[in-house]
Amino acid sequence: MALFYKKNGASRRDRGEGKTALNWLGHDARRARLLEKAEQFSLIQGLIANALQLPVGHACRVVGLEQGTLIIAVPSAAHAAKIRQLTTTIHQLLVARGQQVDEIRIKIQAGLRSASFTEASPMPGQVQDLGEKACDALLELQKNTSNDELARTLARILRKNQARRQS
């Protein structure tokens, strides 16, 4: 049984509000900033993972970016030492991609697990086609977003996915 709160006498269902997390996040400025920050972390995470060698790059987790200081968590001291050797490379890559990073800090978090790659999951750099439901959801988000940059990005993702399916 779904519970809906009432505000101004009408339930969420009556007002026709969306049920997705993205709709919820986009409803006010504070939540929209949270979504932007998550997208930025994801972008930086992907850039680092793709630029660095497999075990090291995929063991890193972006956990903060405040006032130009990027904080990367790693699972061990060995990973931290390797990342420290590569901070100049990481910094140059991020600045070249338009990220405002002045300093990179490394935190060791022993419980952090590196990404494991099984036969069922693709290796980094290997692209899987999106399923029909995923494509439909991205298309709906593209049509309903007020963020032009997000809409262009989603259109590009959908075009690339369609081209992969056709080839």
User: 32-43 pLDDT, tens per residue?
Assistant: 777 788 888 888
With a CB cutoff of 8 Å and minimum separation 6, the contacts of 130 are 138, 157, 161
Task: Name 159's Cβ contacts closer than 8 Å, sequence gap at least 6.
Answer: none
By the 8 A CB rule, do 126 and 113 touch? no
Query: With 90 as the cut, is the pLDDT of residue 161 above it?
Result: no
Hunting for tokens 């990027």 — which residue is that?
Answer: 70
pTM summary value: 0.51
What does the CA dihedral 57, 100, 93, 64 come to, rounded to 10 degrees?
0
Q: Which CA distances in Å does 49 have to 19, 100, 124, 142, 160?
A: 32, 18, 8, 26, 21
Residue 81 has pLDDT above 50, yes or no: yes
Q: Calculate mean pLDDT across residues 6-14.
A: 49
pLDDT band at 25 (very low <50, low <70, confident <90, very high): low
- Cβ–Cβ contacts within 10 Å for residue 127, how many? 10
What CATH architecture is 18-115?
2-Layer Sandwich (3.30)
Domain parsing of the chain, residue ranges: 18-115, 129-167
